[in-house]
Amino acid sequence: MTSSHDKLTGKKAILYFSVIGVLLLILGIAIGVSISSGNSPTSTKRIIPTTTTTTKPVKCTTVSIQNSNLPVVGVLVIPSLSMTAPVTDGVTDNVIAVAVGHNTSTPWPNQPGTSELSAHDVAQFWDLNQLKPGAEVDYYMPCQSETILQVTGSNVVTTNTTVYDLPYTGTILETCWPVNTLAYTNTRLLVDTKVVKTIPSTKQLVIPTYPNAPNVNIPPQLANLGLSLTNNTQPMGEMLTAGNISPALLQTNMPMNFEASALEIWFGMIDSFKYSHPDWFASFSKYVPYPQQFNGERVTGYYKAMVVTISGSGNNVSSMTMQAELGFGIGIYLIIATVTTVRQTVSGSPQNYFYLTGLTMNKV
């Protein structure tokens, strides 16, 4: 604490040195006049050149999220998980199908308060459970600011749990639990992070892009039946990995997109049986003969949820295997179907296609 005496002394010191400064200035002027009025040659004025630096404004390119018209608002980077993902506003299905979504009822990570970012578990937040206290999480808005956060803890809650604001400025990262589930669950993993600092940033927008999911050769008549989970019943279990797929690839929406293409073949196969169409089956099958004993058979029950295994190396997915137990009129069968990426040229352009390359159907 500073006393009134100290403050007064300080003021006096400032006044004292101010008087000395004025006297020295007057003395300097007097000396200067004396020198210039002496016998020395007439002085030449010298202009000191100055350099003016103009800073050009940083230009940031506006980019839409891959396979979407949604704008990239920010970028979420988790270095320890090799994850880089686009962030946009909203947590609806069409948003988190392509990006990390921002809960619009909360502030953004670079603003005061508690923000919330959500993503699918078998997508951007597949490895979220691996984050330990102290791990770094970065959020930046291209050419604007960068916010450094630090993980402080995590917990698993049910969907009806009230989540309160953090006792500090930070962000809650939220996803389904377990993190490899393909089914809707009533549990969520919450990872809490605390803002360490927010700094101006000139970072440009850099988001890795990955190949789109393979096409599937489906006849129009079969395609019109609808070959997705939206149009069909199939209890889903979990997604596993095989090989050494890059963590950076797994933490994108690519595995889900590949799964959707594989499911087209799965449901196409079931409908081929149901409507007695070996020709439909042949359109997406390579080296797998049509199982005649299932001709005309309809699914009567689901006894084990589907487990999907994604296989590959690096950023390349080579195959996906789907396994489930289904009931038919002729009995309950464990079905294991493998689809493989096949490169082929269509209209002069090389494209990736999924084909059914393996099928076993064993009675349980």
H/E stretch holding 304: strand 301-314
Per-residue confidence in pLDDT tens, the chain, 364 aa? 433 333 333 333 333 333 334 333 333 433 333 333 333 333 333 343 433 333 344 566 667 788 888 989 999 999 999 999 999 999 999 999 999 999 999 999 999 999 999 999 999 999 999 999 999 999 999 888 999 999 999 999 999 899 899 999 999 999 999 999 999 899 999 999 999 999 998 877 778 888 788 999 999 999 999 999 999 999 999 999 999 999 999 999 999 999 999 999 999 999 999 999 999 999 999 999 999 999 999 999 999 999 999 999 998 899 999 999 999 999 999 999 999 999 888 888 888 999 999 999 999 9
119 — phi, psi (to 5°)?
-155, 165
Question: Domain map of the chain by residue range?
Answer: 74-200, 215-363
Q: How many CA atoms lie within 13 A of 61 on its CB side?
A: 7
Q: Where are the alpha helices (DSSP H) in the chain?
A: 4-36, 93-96, 220-223, 247-250, 254-274, 278-283
Residue in 110, 113, 163 with CA at minimum distance from that of residue 137: 110
Residues 6+ apart with CB under 8 A from 65: 71, 72, 86, 88, 98, 99
Gap between the Cα atoms of 320 and 46, Å rounded: 79
Spatial distance between the Cα atoms of 296 and 278, rounded to a whole number of angstroms = 10
- pTM reported for the whole predicted model: 0.79
Query: Residue 269: how many CB atoms within 10 A of its CB?
Result: 24
Continuous segment of H or E residues that includes residue 139: strand 136-141
- Count CA atoms within 13 Å of residue 82 on its CB side: 9
CB of 122 closer than 8 Å to CB of 129: no
Given the DSSP bridges, would you call strands 215-216 and 349-363 parallel, antiparallel or unpaired?
parallel
Task: Determine the topology of domain 74-200 in CATH.
Answer: Sortase; Chain: A; (2.40.260)
| Angle ∠(83,89,94) on CA atoms, nearest 5 | 80
